Structure 1
Amino acid sequence: MDQQLKNNTGVVLPEATVTNSFSASMQVSGAGPIAKSIRVSSKGDGETGSVILGISDRLVSAMVSPTQNQTTKAMQTSIVDLSLHAIGPGSHDDISVALSAKGQTMDINLQSLAKNNNGSAAAAFMILNGMESLLSHQYFKTENKTEMYSDVFTVILPSIHNTNLTEPVNFTIQHKKKVPESGIVTCVYWEDKCENNGEAGKEGEAMRWSVEGCWVAYSDENYTVCSCSHLSTFALIMQIGEPPPEEPFLEWLNRMCVIVGLFFFALAILTFLLCSWNAKINNTARLHLCLSLSLSHLLLLWSDRYVEHELACTVMAGLLHFLLIASFVWMQLEAVQLYLLVRRLSKVQVIQRDGLPKPLLYLIGYGVPFVIVGISALVYSDGYGATEAGVCLLSRRRNFNWALTGPVIVVIGLNWMVFCATLWSLRPTLANMKSDISQSKDTRLIVFKILAQFVILGCTWIIGLYKTNLFFHVLFILMNSQQGTFLFIVHCLLNKEVREEYKRWLTCSCGKDSAVVVEKDVPSVSEDLDKPEEQTDQGRKDDE
């Protein structure tokens, strides 16, 4: 077929013949949709692809009659999608002509070409189905992982001898799928040195995708505009940078620490649910803080396994967004509860009920994250999915990650202020501590609980800003994975009522005879500090 077209350069072929010739060439090459006998290698077949491109050029040229003054033709089959426009002397077409094929468009100035070709010019914009398997993305030499991100399309200028462009040609190319965060869209053209120079050489060296003379004029998540200073066969190739390999030690340390933290989260949740608490104590914020943090840690532990599954990754990213924001909102509520409790105690007030009412806690604890996630999903639903870190979370495109980072920073800042206000309210108590052995022991316990609350309230997340340093990376893993551990120690192990409850469980004693007399416990900034009976002002001062 190629030889016959070369020997009959002046022949004009009907569209049906051109269509059949395209179908036959793609079927024989093994790249067409109906080809069965031949399979193209995963590395492609650039030599066959270049031959078909040469045939395509001659077939399209045979569709244009030299006597035609102005014509527009279109061809759409399962093999080829082609749009052709020709102008002749005296044509008054617009300066820029738009041609399209399979949703891709090209804007070209035919008038400028016609000026250098006796007043006539023609351009064809064509896509052959299956060409991407012949002209594989592996012909693009780069250290990055590559992927074909569009159809392979060809621009043909039939019967034009002077093809020099006076201005770049723009192509609007639709992406085949969503662009990953670590991806770089590259405009490329097919370069065949053997055909251009008539020289023989190795296929890998002579045939390749090249970026010379083509550049990205605009790109977003849906399409890219390429500008090229010459015409040929073009495509979009995605270069995907491999994420930096995480150190095996850090990955192992993070996994082990999270598992330990989840164990203590589970113990704390069971304790809050099953223990017989004093009626004045409100553990709502602590319970739901444990639930939200444990679920978010668990999902983060497994989210990397769903990166390749787009729908599952999107759903997981949305759940993580909700749970992480809910965790920080419950941290804020716990900080407020703690501040209100300490403030009342410092004023020697009898506590009728600890902190805020449950309905208000539920409304804020889950209502705020629901509103934030709902608005985020409405504004940019495509922002949920795989990230360059290899987990399912929020994309950095359009700064969408601030839908999580923003609320977290606000809560951390507020917690810092509430924490400092709590310490300020405790100032008189800490200043009046006596220096005997008993009080010295109490002081150490108070200091420990203050530091523990610092972790529980999420203030250590500020360390994440310095994770580029190995020391801070390890410290961040240790501190933030053990929020469940500190919650269990402070609110369960160091609570006398809970310890007595544990003893009852361990000795399997049941009934009324197992009732425990609640003794005074050591008060601190993080203890419930609720007494089973009302105390006098002097007794409250003695406790402080």
Structure 2
Amino acid sequence: MLLPNVFVEINHITNNSQWEEIEEDSRRKAAYLLMDSLESAIEVAVVNMDTERYNLAMDSLDLQVQVLEKKGVSVNGTVTLLAKQNQMEFHWETKKSKYHSDFAAISFIACTNMGKLLDVKELEMENKKFGKEHLELNSNLLMAIMTRSKQDLQNVTFTIKNKEEDDVDDYSVCVFLRETRERIFWSTTGCRKVFFNLSHTICNCRHLSNFAVLVALYKVESPALTIITYVGVSISLVALLAAIITFIMCRTIQSPRTSIHTHLCLCLFLAELLFLIGISKPESKAVCGAIAGVLHYLFLACFMWMLLEGFQLYLMVVKVFQAQSLRGKYTYPFAYGIPALIVIVSTAVYPEGYGTREHCWLTMEKGFRWSFVAPVCIICLVNLVFLVVTIWKLIQKFNSISPDLTYLQKIRLFIITAIAQLTVLGCSWIFGVFHFQRRTIALAYIFTILISFQGTFIFILHCVNNKQVRNEYRQWIANFCNFLKISKYSVFSESTRPSSSSQVGNSATSM
């Protein structure tokens, strides 16, 4: 009768509303002491148990015990324990011994309220120092207790029921509870996430002692990342605005390719402005979904214009006589219509895909992010084919007997900038895919820097790196300086010129 009495008491204690009145650190220590008491009671009861398997379920606690080894009991093979839709599985082989007093038992407990009472806010990752992160339990707190065994369990699999069936895989990690003299914290050492879906997370652990396993939400929250994002995007917005003005005002570079650059920069400017204002505004689900949908459309439009630039270069080198055929009446429906069609289809298929728990972007649920990643990969691949064919034809023209060096050098410069642009835009989102799939500090910084400074890179590639544009800038600066000199001279002349009344007075005095 020990375990039922202990469970009744712990069930009553954990459901008591007075926990909220206790100071946070004291509450955490008291909850940990309660877990320790529960563990001690289970170990005492299991040793004296006269059955091979025992189950006990209450509102906030669920226990299953399996005796693995004792006189008359010998378990060999896979052992599975269940508690509140959570599963623990491992392989056990009873070792032969001349002593008949060897005893081994495993207990698996699911605690509904204990995790909330502990409210542990520190996480130690294997490749990361301690940090107070955004932590939120997405499972019951689980305890696995091995009683009086000389064997260590080296490979234990936990199938853990998620509390919320949402796209939490962005940040979920498998952790266990550790205690030192200074702190109680979660740790990932020896535990890894094997599989995730909406309802369950599968964790594999290399060790087993008296510990807890759960799924936590881990989010990289670094002030440095925030500063890089805001500074980088702000600089990019200024650079993109300068590029748009340059492409419109600079007459010497007017061409279909310049028109493509103008629309590319315009789409990227609007996307980054909306990113800066609304990416972290998930309070209203409808507004957040709308922001995510518009961002989806604008970023796809950027890649469409980049594809058109690759095609334009292909026409200029391979189809010379059709180089001017890429006009607005063809490009606008293609560059703006196809992204709109993708967004419309995506919305119709899965409208809940826009907006996540943390950001106004595409959810990972049901593979929805492939509605952006797949078109981007296809566009980058097609563009790469265009560029390879263009470079091959360019090499052949350079090897001809009388090449037009000026034209070919101009094309070569265009190709270099197109490759650089493809690298900047394409690689940034490739890093983004890896970052969303496996969040690490290194990928977070690489992705943040590349995305934040996209506009700056494009301004450098197409404006600063262009000799005609630099000459135009010099002319604009010279005209502006001349204007300032003329204005300053006019003001000085007006201030030094005597008034007509003064002149008349002076004439009268002289007479």
TM range (shorter): 0.5 to 0.7
Report SS of the residue matched to 2:176. Answer: strand
1:232 Cα offset (Å): 0.8
Letter in 1 for 2:384: G
How many Å apart are 1:21 and its aligned residue?
1.3
The aligned runs of 1:119-138 (5 Å cut-off) are 121-138=104-121
Please show how residues 211-290 of structure 1 align to structure 2 within 5 Å: 215-216=190-191, 218-222=193-197, 223-236=201-214, 240-243=219-222, 245=224, 251-252=230-231, 254-259=233-238, 261-262=240-241
Cα pair 1:19 1:80 within 8 Å, conserved? yes
Please report the TM-score for the alignment, with normalisation by the length of structure 1: 0.55
Call closer, same or farther: CA 1:43–1:410 in 2, change over 3 Å: farther
Deviations 1:268-324 (A, max 9, x none): 99xxxxxxxxxxx99997897576444433333335434788997677556534432
In the alignment, is the contact (CA less than 8 A) between 1:285 and 1:361 conserved in 2? no
Alpha-carbon distance in 1 for matches of 2:299, 2:90: 50
Q: 2 CA distance for matches of 1:419 and 1:224? A: 49
Tell me if 1:72 matches 2:59: no
Q: Which residue of 1 aligns with 2:11?
A: 23
8 Å CA contact 2:64–2:109 kept in 1: the answer is yes
**Alpha carbons 1:258, 1:297 under 8 Å: kept:** yes
Instruction: Tell me if the contact between 1:152 and 1:235 (Cα under 8 Å) persists in the aligned partners.
Output: yes
Aligned mates of 2:294, 2:236 — CA distance in 1: 22
Structure 2 Cα separation of the partners of residues 173 and 432 of structure 1 = 66
Offset of residue 75 of structure 1: 0.5
Aligned to 1:154: 143
Q: Give the SS at the match of 1:406.
A: helix
Q: 1:216 to 1:326 in 2, by over 3 A?
A: same
What is the aligned counterpart of 2:273 among 292, 298, 321? 298
Cα distance change on mapping 1:128 and 1:341 into 2, 3 Å: closer
Structure 1 distance, partners of 2:49, 2:231, is 75
> Secondary structure at 2:51's aligned position in 1?
coil
Pick closer, same or farther for the CA change 1:410–1:297 going to 2, 3 Å: farther
Asked if the contact 2:144/2:209 (under 8 Å) is kept, the reply is yes
Range 122-131 or range 62-71, more displaced: 62-71
Deviation at 1:343, TM superposition (A): 8.6
1:410 aligns with 2:399: no
Q: How many residues align?
A: 419
Q: 1 or 2, which has the higher helix percentage?
A: 2
2:433 match: none
TM-score, length basis structure 2 = 0.57
Pair 1:39–1:230, CA change in 2 (3 A) = same
Partner-residue secondary structure (3-state), 1:305: coil
Cα distance in 2 for residues equivalent to 1:253 and 1:227 = 40
- For the Cα contact (< 8 Å) 1:83–1:101, is it kept in 2? yes
Which residue does 1:82 correspond to in 2?
63
TM-superposed deviation, 1:369: 8.2
Question: Is residue 150 of structure 2 the alignment partner of residue 164 of structure 1?
Answer: yes
1:324 aligned to which of 291, 299, 302: 299
- Equivalent-residue separation in structure 2 for 1:481 and 1:48 (angstroms): 59
1:101 to 83, 94, 99: 83
Distance 1:207 1:290 in 2: 51
Q: Deviations over 1:79-116 (max 9, x none)?
A: 21222334764346553321122332222567739977
Task: Name the Cα RMSD after superposition.
Answer: 6.1
Distance 1:113 1:101, change over 3 A: farther
Q: Is the 8 A contact 2:67 2:104 kept in 1?
A: yes
One-letter amino acid matched to 2:115 = E
> Any residues of structure 2 matched to 1:494-533 within 5 Å, and which?
none
Give 1:47 shift. 3.1
- Please list, as runs of the form range in 1=range in 2, the aligned pairs for 1:361-380 lying within 5 A after superposition: 362=333, 366-367=337-338
Unaligned runs of 5+ in 2: 249-255, 429-444, 473-511
What secondary structure does 1:137 align onto? Answer: coil
Instruction: Return the offset for 1:48.
Output: 1.2
Q: Which amino acid aligns with 1:208?
A: I
